[in-house]
Amino acid sequence: MTKNLRVKSSKLVDETYRISFKFNGTTYYGFKGDTLASALLANNIHLVGRSFKYHRPRGIMTAGSEEPNAIVQLHNGTSRTEPNVRATEIEIYEGLVATSQNCWPSVKFDIGGINNFLSPLLPAGFYYKTFMWPASFWEKYEYFIRKSAGLGKSPDVPDPDIYEHKYIHCDVLVIGAGISGLIAAKTAAKSGFKTLLVEEKSYLGGSTIYQDSEFFKINNQNSASWLEKEINEVKKIENLEIKTRTSVAAFHGYNFLLARENLTDHLPLEQRENKTRQRLLKIRAKKVITATGSIERPLIFDNNDRPGILLSSAIKKYADLFGVACGEKNILFTNNDSVYETAISLIQKGIKVQAIIDNREEIDSKLIKETEKNNIKIYKGYSIVDTFGYKRINSVSIMKLSKDGQKVIGSKENISCDSLGISGGWTPAVHLFTQSGGKLKFRDDDQVFIPNTYPSNQISIGSCNGDFTLDEILINTPKLLKEFLNIKKTEYENIEIYSAFNKSKRNIWLLPSNKIVGKTKSFVDFQNDATAKDIKLALREGFRSIEHVKRYTTTGMGTDQGKLGNMHALGIISETASSKMGELGTTTFRPPYTPLTFGTIVGRNVGKYFDIIRKTPIHEWHIENKAEFENVGQWKRAWYYPQNGENMHEAVQRESKAARDSAGILDASTLGKIDIQGTDASEFLNRVYTNAWSKLEIGKCRYGLMLNEDGMVYDDGVTTRLDENHYIMTTTTGGAATVLGKLEDYLQTEWPELDVYLTSVTDHYATISVCGPNSKKIIQKVIPEIDLSDKDFPHMSFKNSKIGKVKCRVMRISFTGEQSYEINIQANYAKSVWENCIEAGKEFNITPYGTETMHLLRAEKGFIIAGQDTDATMTPIDLQMDWIVSKKKFDFIGKRSLYRSDTIREDRKQLVGLITDNPEEILEEGAQIVADMNKTPIEMLGHVTSSYFSPNLKKSIALGVVKGGKNMMGQKLIIPMEKKQINVTVTDPVFLDKENKRLNA
């Protein structure tokens, strides 16, 4: 049944440029300038998809971004596939491949269509009601729901396209290039404002650009011709930038807007290589002018969703702009004058209008007279009560409306057709305005919500502000612009306007039927299959808030956010509940206005650019020596160094043994380092650490714990006194930024009187840690001039020294329990010093070790790792670290919280050691700890925080937190696992060298 429904030359398509494309496997032809929708309609294809719930056949309904039905999958099965593309927006190109969504096995024969006949069983809230019970059946329900529903398929291979982000700053942003937007952009730019005009379509001029009849005139020219001249002028203005195919997705506070600029989606695939596909524009505008137009309302009657039923304005647009007839026997159905504009356009192009059904009884306007002159039958005071035709509409039933519009009367009459255009009036597109925080008011005259109060420096103009007719727009827009831009004059003051449009309207939200509501399918939300019946049911079941009704019936929850039917939903609720429209409020419109691709959202931040990667200056050596790496925050840290095919366990056992038996070397450069100077530095440390600092001698190091004000440990590290008023603090790798931030906070806000200066020097110094019984010998070889004798350089002390000519700091501190030295040196010398250490350590089998071995060695000593053995609920007392909490100090951060009623409880979770009965059994970190398996419910006492096999102790060791653990030494506990129970004994957390003999070995 292929017909050619092209009528005659049109505004937008180039009939000399033929394009082939595929839809559901068949090749079709269209012209350059066509959208997929206009090209399909030209091939007489209306049926493009199935509805979400009932799987009813659905056709193209609109000609814009408000489309609920015609959503397709592009290039299915390829890397460029994209679901949920509106056929009304995508421009065709050679090689385009589109398929219908939401139907299986095919759009013409769809298994889910059976839901349509089961629909009495699928009322509002059906999913909530039915699939709730029994809970164990949920998995089965989900399988079927997912298989038969779902909107499109996401790609399963990486996106080959390039996306980017761009910041734009302008004086005035104009959204929408219809007649109002163009007037605004021209006026603003010519008044000296740096102006940006964005338009979601590929062309400028909105609907006026094809308003080409003697019934709409500006200065004695057809409005379309007048506007074309304006556009030519606008394009020449220097400080005006115009971006087409650019859709504003979000309008945030303070005039910050996000827009998607489409750069290649209209090009054949082979022309897209190496080009940016889409750009996310981050626009900060001093002033915003919203001119987003309006969306035609459908009418709500029984079976108003059949393929072939379109908005009347869409039929006009397809004819005027694309030269496509939506049918050969058109019926138009309306409650206002708009369809007569459509009728005149169709007549001009030789497309047959079968009849017009108008809700209004008494009507009279020049448009109507002209229509009648062409012998088109107008049924005044009539309404459609039903439609027929499964995959395409073939006729309608009409009946007379009663005077009050509450019911239909008289006898039914059938009229055949192949296309039905409907118009329920217009709804201002206030979505962006409300996103920005704008508040609406309800205008009773024509039942529309229009902008009322603006939250930022912005205005709405044109039909999105409720000015629907040409004369209203041309009179009100210049007035609004003068005030908003603070200018004296516009070019549009003495303009002659002629508009034949009569504003009379007979608004009936839900048209009456000869059937009871329960027997009708009058669709309000076409994409989500919500009907008037569903909304009424929700009200009967007690829902009153519009937000609740929305969720219960899923009205407005599709990818189109209910752009067509939300107003009717509100109208039906207010009529049924006898509340006033203006008092009911509206649902919230959320960004994005139209869906965004993930590519646009992430821009260039993909792959290796996803996040910052921080590398130590010794990183290259670790790579050359085959290290495996671990991510610690943004840092890449050497994790372990496998040799000869070792797995991680084998490598870590070897490294750990070597570090205790002879010598190990660790790159500790990632530890946070904060340089602290000032006459109050000691006092400052007293206040931020739990222990005392005033008496620390110059040249000595001390370990400290930091608490939050609530008494919980959040970081730890060693701080060294370099001079009277100079310290260097180390923090954990992950905590560095937080610690600096907190210290700055207290200094600036609580203790501004303290003379203290903080500087982050983490990246400036590298830290090389050499540990083990032979560490002293190795350091001596690397730094011959330094005196390393225990007397002159004991544990927890520091010396300035030099390696060659390069200054360095050497600390004798230990995180492993072994004798250990740390060399801190300017970062760019670090790799060569590291290599010196390796060379000097060769005779002692110096072994590089990574973070895993470091963790194992410190666990043997029972040293905590803040963030692994602690979370935000552990006090120093819970950690059995009472020794580090000063009793003498007057105050420090967190002190008062250590004796709150909650923190002094005996049964808090406390850090303990755990030894497995079977020394070979290694516990899982995170595993739960219980005492009594027979209690119901089983009481969880705590969990395992660190667990390793210790090669030095030749047994499994673990740390864990256990309720009341301090008083459970020697007690047996159970670690229940999926398939077994592991028996453990509670011990002291220090497993090795309790006497600290090894530090001076």
Partner 1 sequence: MFLINCPFCGEREQSEFKAGGEAHIVRPKQPTELSDDQWAEYLFMRKNIKGIQFERWNHIHGCRKWFNMVRDTSNDEIKAVYKMGEKPPVK
In the complex, the residues that contact partner 1 under the rule CB under 8 A are: 252-254, 256, 284, 437, 455, 709-710, 741, 744-745, 748-750, 752, 890-891, 895-897, 900-901
CB of 957 to partner 1, least distance (A): 37
CB of 300 to partner 1, least distance (A): 35
> CB-based contacts of 605: which residues, under 8 Å, 6+ apart?
611
CB of 688 to partner 1, least distance (A): 13
Q: Can you read off the two tokens belonging to residue 751?
A: 């203790």
Q: How far apart are CA 342 and CA 397, in angstroms?
A: 21
CB of 250 to partner 1, least distance (A): 10
> CB-based contacts of 486: which residues, under 8 Å, 6+ apart?
none
**Where does residue 491 fall: left (phi above 0), alpha (psi -120 to 50 degrees), or beta otherwise?**
alpha
CB of 750 to partner 1, least distance (A): 5
For residues 385 and 729, which CB has a smaller minimum distance to partner 1 in the complex? 729
Farthest-apart Cα atoms in the chain, separation: 115
For residues 541 and 709, which CB has a smaller minimum distance to partner 1 in the complex? 709
Q: How far apart are CA 781 and CA 844, in angstroms?
A: 12
Tell me the three state secondary structure of residue 678: coil
Q: How far apart are CA 229 and CA 223, in angstroms?
A: 10
CB of 790 to partner 1, least distance (A): 40
For residues 486 and 749, which CB has a smaller minimum distance to partner 1 in the complex? 749
Instruction: Answer whether 560's CB lies under 8 Å from 523's CB.
Output: no
Q: How far apart are CA 310 and CA 63, in angstroms?
A: 9
For residues 220 and 748, which CB has a smaller minimum distance to partner 1 in the complex? 748
For residues 140 and 905, which CB has a smaller minimum distance to partner 1 in the complex? 905
CB of 99 to partner 1, least distance (A): 38
Computed from CA positions of residues 119, 123, 124, 128, in that sequence, does the dihedral angle turn out positive or negative? Answer: negative
For residues 253 and 794, which CB has a smaller minimum distance to partner 1 in the complex? 253
CB of 579 to partner 1, least distance (A): 25
Q: Can you read off the two tokens belonging to residue 383?
A: 């309404």
Q: How far apart are CA 825 and CA 764, in angstroms?
A: 8
CB of 584 to partner 1, least distance (A): 21
Q: How far apart are CA 604 and CA 627, in angstroms?
A: 29
Beta bridge partners of 355: 331, 377
Q: Return the closest-CA partner of residue 825 out of 669, 620, 720.
A: 669
CB of 749 to partner 1, least distance (A): 5
Q: How far apart are CA 263 and CA 244, in angstroms?
A: 9
Check residue 436 and report its DSSP letter. Answer: T
For residues 133 and 167, which CB has a smaller minimum distance to partner 1 in the complex? 167
Q: How far apart are CA 246 and CA 259, in angstroms?
A: 6
604: number of Cβ within 10 Å: 12
For residues 638 and 758, which CB has a smaller minimum distance to partner 1 in the complex? 758
Q: Residues 671-682, buried b or exposed e (16+ Cβ, 10 A)? A: bbbbbbbbebbb
CB of 899 to partner 1, least distance (A): 9
For residues 236 and 887, which CB has a smaller minimum distance to partner 1 in the complex? 887
Tell whether omega for the bond before 105 is within 30 degrees of 0, i.e. cis.
yes
H-helix or E-strand spanning residue 238: none
CB of 280 to partner 1, least distance (A): 14
Q: How far apart are CA 281 and CA 686, in angstroms?
A: 49
For residues 745 and 939, which CB has a smaller minimum distance to partner 1 in the complex? 745
Q: How far apart are CA 886 and CA 827, in angstroms?
A: 36
For residues 284 and 700, which CB has a smaller minimum distance to partner 1 in the complex? 284
> CB-based contacts of 160: which residues, under 8 Å, 6+ apart?
79, 80
For residues 47 and 170, which CB has a smaller minimum distance to partner 1 in the complex? 170
